[in-house]
Chain A
């Protein structure tokens, strides 16, 4: 009995057809083709199977100007996936045996799978930040080993600490936690400054305080609260002016 296993390989675009021809000759089964929309371009994954081994050949970052050769001359059944990728991702695939010319799916929008949703954008940015934080943490750890760091003057959380805290949370919750922690850091910094230079007591809320107040609210409510607080701050400033 063959056991199931899977492999992911990278192949250049120019070799897609040759590889398919080789696989057809060696008796591999065509399984599927899929596309992934990435920031660098469209990744295409060609899957073939033989004796329980599923090989996924990935072509990285296919651009809008790249012409992808069809493999339907070797595997007719690939016409479904190729037409689908053309319609949903706008990838130009040449010489499809049964080519629907963009009419395979009845779509309201052209290449809908290339539209990056706000959620996806947020997830990508978060992934980048986590990677950056991880790199920074590693660099900091190396630095600490070299020379013990000076005791922190400010008690507020650092960027690294925030990143560590929000890693693994869903984007909405991560945004809330981040806002709250940033506010805390600012507050701590402000408190440290206040301790150093005694400032005149202010009746109005500072920008930091407004930020802290609206963190975690939904955008519409946050805008309202911000407007109300800013109005209050203006009023307080005017009153202070009059008083003088």
Chain B
């Protein structure tokens, strides 16, 4: 074994779109220890809850992340609704989940493109992002926004999707599904992709459980934890929901789980569209959360379980709003996955974990 050397990795790195820094302790070509560091872009968004009332803060919650924006607005709204004992109409629950699952499709396609780009498959990157554009077009048609949708409010949603638009969503998703299946099959059977991913960055089921890992990162290690399986809101009306898992626990398994989750999300949207109940899309929310009242909530974001907490103080401003993002939970798992890998595989492992540091730096 050669002498241990520390190699800094990030926060500016060609394959990392996120401000993550790693100190990699390397012996020869093998990573023997890792120290992850974030905190370069901490924005203090949680503190802003003191100067915005609980209706205004939803627009800040949405801006925590450009990819999981809809999820954050839903998670925040659900938490405040729990805090104030508000029950929203069934149709609003369905609409929220349809936009949220569309967000998962666009998030996974974005990630797949970036991952393909990282292992030198540039045409795949372009195909994935071309498909993602069609999802963004659906957002634009139904909400007016492409990234930040601003459709969720405390008490429901602000826009409805009529039958014509719903039919269009289904038609577009069917089109995406055909194209996507071809891309996915190419990716999952390609030898060069397998060479880079199979057996790399392995995490066992026991480690995944011990490190409380979440999202596709955990499910790829055969840990079937998915918040959607609790059947909250419209998820409870799905005929059957089974988390997608893989047993291998390596980079290939993580790619596979995300690839299949895109198809699963498309099926969820189609099922909910078929079952969509009629009725109101919002209820009036009056008053303010009581002093000392508190509520917590979890939501399955594209990257995994996200935790929300709110505490009231009797005024319209919350005393505290807290969001623990999935990446924060997966950082420990990432260090374990990186230990013992080849230096050349570091970027592949990080990308298949899909960390969202900006999200974590609320």
A3 on the interface (CB 8 Å rule)? yes
A45 to B322, alpha carbons, bound, how many Å? 11
Q: Which of A31, A54, A113, A122 contacts B47 (CB 8 A)?
A: A113
Whether B332 pairs with A77 at a CB distance below 8 angstroms is yes
| A6: min CB distance to chain B, Å | 5
Q: Closest residue of chain B to A28, judged by CB?
A: B212
| B335: min CB distance to chain A, Å | 8
Whether B328 pairs with A81 at a CB distance below 8 angstroms is yes
Q: Which residues of A contact B296 (CB under 8 A)?
A: 6, 8, 47, 54, 56
Chain A contact residues: helix, strand, loop or mixed: mixed
Looking at A3, A31, A122, the one whose CB has the most chain B CB atoms below 10 A away is A31
A145 on the interface (CB 8 Å rule)? no
A202 on the interface (CB 8 Å rule)? no
B28 on the interface (CB 8 Å rule)? no
B39 on the interface (CB 8 Å rule)? yes
A120 on the interface (CB 8 Å rule)? yes
| A3: min CB distance to chain B, Å | 6
Q: Which of A32, A76, A87, A123 contacts B332 (CB 8 A)?
A: A76
Q: Which residues of A contact B286 (CB under 8 A)?
A: 168
Q: Which residues of B contact A168 (CB under 8 A)?
A: 286-288, 316
| B279: min CB distance to chain A, Å | 24
Residues of B in contact (CB 8 Å), total 52
B296-331 interface code vs A (CB 8 A; 1 in, 0 out): 111000000101010101111101101010001111
Whether A32 pairs with B324 at a CB distance below 8 angstroms is yes
A189 on the interface (CB 8 Å rule)? no
Whether B316 pairs with A1 at a CB distance below 8 angstroms is no
Interface residues of A in 35-60 (CB under 8 A from B): 36-37, 45, 47, 49, 52, 54, 56
Q: Closest residue of chain A to B241, judged by CB?
A: A1
Whether B311 pairs with A36 at a CB distance below 8 angstroms is yes
| B160: min CB distance to chain A, Å | 27
Known: A47-B296, A75-B212, A81-B328. A2 touches B314 (CB 8 A): no
Looking at B213, B230, B330, the one whose CB has the most chain A CB atoms below 10 A away is B230
A231 on the interface (CB 8 Å rule)? no
Q: Which residues of B contact A8 (CB under 8 A)?
A: 294, 296
A29 on the interface (CB 8 Å rule)? yes
Interface residues of B in 192-235 (CB under 8 A from A): 209, 211-213, 225, 227, 229-232
A159 to B236, alpha carbons, bound, how many Å? 49
A residues within 8 Å of B by Cβ? Answer: 1-4, 6, 8, 29-32, 34, 36-37, 45, 47, 49, 52, 54, 56, 75-77, 79-81, 87, 98, 100, 103-107, 112-113, 117, 119-120, 122-124, 126-127, 130-131, 168-171
Report, nearest first, the 3 A-B pairs whose CB atoms are least far apart. A127-B314, A77-B332, A123-B315
B residues within 8 Å of A by Cβ? Answer: 35, 37-40, 42, 44, 46-47, 50-51, 53, 209, 211-213, 225, 227, 229-232, 286-288, 291, 294-298, 305, 307, 309, 311, 313-317, 319-320, 322, 324, 328-333, 360-361
Q: Can you give 29 contacting A-B residue pairs, CB < 8 Å?
A: A2-B230, A3-B230, A4-B230, A8-B296, A29-B225, A30-B212, A31-B298, A31-B329, A32-B324, A32-B328, A34-B309, A37-B320, A56-B294, A56-B296, A77-B331, A77-B333, A100-B37, A119-B51, A122-B315, A123-B50, A123-B315, A126-B314, A126-B315, A127-B314, A130-B291, A168-B287, A169-B316, A170-B53, A170-B317
